[in-house]
Structure 1
Amino acid sequence: MSDLHLDLKNLIIDALGLEDISVDDIDNDAPLFGEGLGLDSVDALELGLAVQKHFSIKIDADSKDVRQHFASINALANFVASKQ
């Protein structure tokens, strides 16, 4: 697991207050929303803000690709890496 993947998992757990989940519980390919980790639209907003603040990047909420960027840890790591 890369440092970025680990950092993102810890960010998700901390930002969303997922006390019953550890980094080992989050699969890099599993969906973050719906049947995967089970996040919802409110979580998406909080996570988007946390990612922007933590990594000092801008996320265009109106972009058609935003949903794909937050599909999984792998997708989010690729997105963050492309913005740095």
Structure 2
Amino acid sequence: MQVLEHEIKTLIIEALNLEDLGPDDIDPAAPLFVEGLGLDSIDALELGLALQKRYGISLSADSEETRKHFASVRKLAEFVNSNRNN
């Protein structure tokens, strides 16, 4: 799971142009929104599209369940791991 977490951290940095961060700067358990990385709703949309392209997963923007998956890198990795199309 650590490899997938690292991949997702790298994807976040690339998709959102967070050039001043490296994967090791992102705590996998830290919140992605407000505190933590401080992402906003536009970032969430961009990240969702990047995850869909990279892992072939399906996300619903209006779903409360999707919001739970975006809580942290670790939660995203768990979701991707159980839903990706390999």
TM-score grouping bracket, smaller chain normalisation: over 0.9
Extract unaligned runs of 5+ from structure 2. Answer: none
The runs of 5 or more residues in structure 1 that have no matched partner are: none
C-alpha RMSD over aligned residues: 1.1
CA shift for structure 1 position 62: 2.7
Identity rate, percent: 60
The 4+ residue runs of structure 1 with deviation greater than 3 A are none
Corresponding residue for residue 75 of structure 2:
75
- 2:59 maps to 59
TM-fit CA distance, 1:63: 2.0
Q: Deviations over 1:19-65 (max 9, x none)?
A: 00111110010000101101111100000000000101111223221
Give the paired residue count: 84
TM-score (norm 1): 0.94
| Matched residue type, 1:6 | H
Equivalent residue number for residue 46 of structure 1: 46
* Larger CA deviation: 34-43 vs 53-62: 53-62
Distance in 2 (alpha carbons) for counterparts of 1:61 and 1:18: 22
2:23 counterpart residue number: 23
Distance, in Å, in 2 between the alignment partners of 1:47 and 1:11 is 8
TM score, norm. by length of structure 2: 0.92
